[in-house]
A and B are shown apart, each in its own frame.
Chain A
């Protein structure tokens, strides 16, 4: 199988080549053999010793194509490459543009301090739609596309939670 680390172009080949079932495994990564000893394994959490070095890994989220994991305190995203995943990725992307692009969502929870647009306004990608206050900071939620403001879902003073839709752009 091939893997790609976030922000790096290089693909890494890796396979499990041996699992006796007693906690000792053998991997081949980029043509070299690596011994791994499992100390703890749950469905999304692993503790193991890889070539004499301890690692703690928590899988934060995963799809068939993409993994986000916390490893020794570092968050890292890894893509898994194969023919099947390419097809899945394409189909996911196609669906995403239809369903998601019209909704402007907030990536952070906060309180609305200002609504910068009105229904019917023509706006450009990057234009601020609302200004949120969170942790004493003000952050603008910007439009992800050019279009017309169809609906504003929040008003000044209201609170929004993470991933909540704040406006619909047509």
Chain B
């Protein structure tokens, strides 16, 4: 395969900027694309060339496979990097690139399809002896079969309706008697509503942690894992904080589960960077759930503890090179934490907050990395994802990384919109988080939203005198810059309801 000399980045925001930086590091021409909403976005300014895709809606721009391929061909791009989100896990897009002689920096369409099909994937994993969450392989209609499966999986188990979703239709049963009762009720319910029974059985796990492995596999079949990331701090299945190493993974577990993760990628004949996601329970069992066939948002955490540049490696693997290191060459050094800064108001049920950013201050200092598209005078659009910045800190151990995060968060100011910074500030000093006592229900379990509100009231107390001084200063400033008559006029005006 010939060397890549130019890459079209089919994405926007911080990840587009991240890929542009990798291109510059490798001396590769970067080509960006943009929607009308993004004309002034930073990826347009930083790329060597930029091309318009279409109107603001993603369906008219960043999701238009035809337009992107057209731009790639006319601009002479050798390869396309999809980033994450948008078309990154669209096998049709990967296929179209191949058809048009453009290298897709990511997995093959085949591997992507297998990774995306939960049932097929589970089957393949079983053959490869990769442990999955115990339970039924598909729909169970017969009660005696259900009893056998539940016995194998171990109680308690969950009965899930295939047509439920969002927690609806899930029943928790803790013994065979309950299973027999609930199974009949649930199947009748399902039959009445949908004309057929469609129940799954799955082992109920408590104190679940979400732990994932960074994977890399080249076209010669070499597979490596770049250790784990713990992503248990979530809100409604959206990751908020990620870290590496995980507080519950020691060297022995790391190697054992890492080997399983590599085996999972081999079973799918995976190519390029990907992530194997596992659930881990309080007993230390690891269950494979899926492979994310893309570069992850949280990849910088892994970069900091391994010293490897994952985007550069992606490009090297995509042009047919072998992974330039062996598994035993890799070492997990220090500790890294990432906080996802979203343009959402954590005090108001995380509603989106968008608009013009008159000013912002990006934190700096030892062990601090910020991947963001923000700059003073930029715009946060409501058309796309709410992730506006990733703040990542590194330290020789967890506590050093954590304290650096705490300080960096306090340096981070973004004017004009609300962000998730306050919830991060609360978590980073919360005792269960500090002690590594985390699980996917952490936010609810430890009343984090309430603690965040309390913290805000304390901040208010701390800042009250300075804030009041500023108000007095302003009236003093106004007094000085205006004559007495003008001031009287203004007071009269304001009494009639006007602003000044």
Contacts and interface: CB of A to CB of B under 8 A. Distances in A.
Given A91-B495, A108-B382, 4 more contacts: A38-B473, A48-B470, A57-B467, A73-B410
B457 A12 contact: no
A12 B468 CA distance: 9
A11 to B, nearest CB: 11
A102 B352 CA distance: 25
Contacts of A70: 413, 415
Given A87-B495, A88-B495, A14 B472 contact: yes
Contacts of B421: 73
A108 B351 contact: yes
A101 interface: no
Contact of A46 (B459, B464, B474, B494): B474
A18 to B, nearest CB: 11
Given A7-B457, A34-B469, A48-B469, A72 B463 contact: yes
A41 B477 CA distance: 8
Interface in A14-28: 14-16, 19, 25, 27
Interface in B454-480: 456-457, 459-461, 463-474, 476-478
Contacts of B467: 5, 57, 69, 71, 76, 78
B178 to A, nearest CB: 36
Contact of A91 (B352, B361, B412, B497): B497
Interface in B354-387: 354-355, 359, 361, 382-386
Contact of A135 (B352, B457, B495, B497): B352
A3 B497 contact: no
B194 interface: no
Interface stretch (A58-66, A113-121, A142-150): A58-66
Interface in B388-436: 410-413, 415, 418, 421
A95 B491 CA distance: 18
B382 A109 contact: yes
Measured as residues with beta carbon below 8 angstroms from the partner, the interface class of chain B is: 35 or more
A135 B354 contact: yes
B353 interface: yes
A8 B382 contact: no
Q: Which 8 A-B pairs have the closest CB atoms?
A: A57-B470, A135-B352, A73-B413, A134-B382, A135-B386, A64-B494, A134-B352, A55-B466
A1 B461 CA distance: 18
Contacts of A136: 384-386
Contacts of B499: 62-63
Contacts of A15: 472
Interface centre among B384, B473, B477 (most CB of A within 10 A): B473
Contacts of B456: 7, 74
B351 A139 contact: yes
Contacts of B473: 25, 36, 38, 41, 46, 48
B474 A12 contact: no
Interface string A70-97: 1111111010100010011001100100
Contacts of B412: 73
Contacts of B476: 16, 19, 25
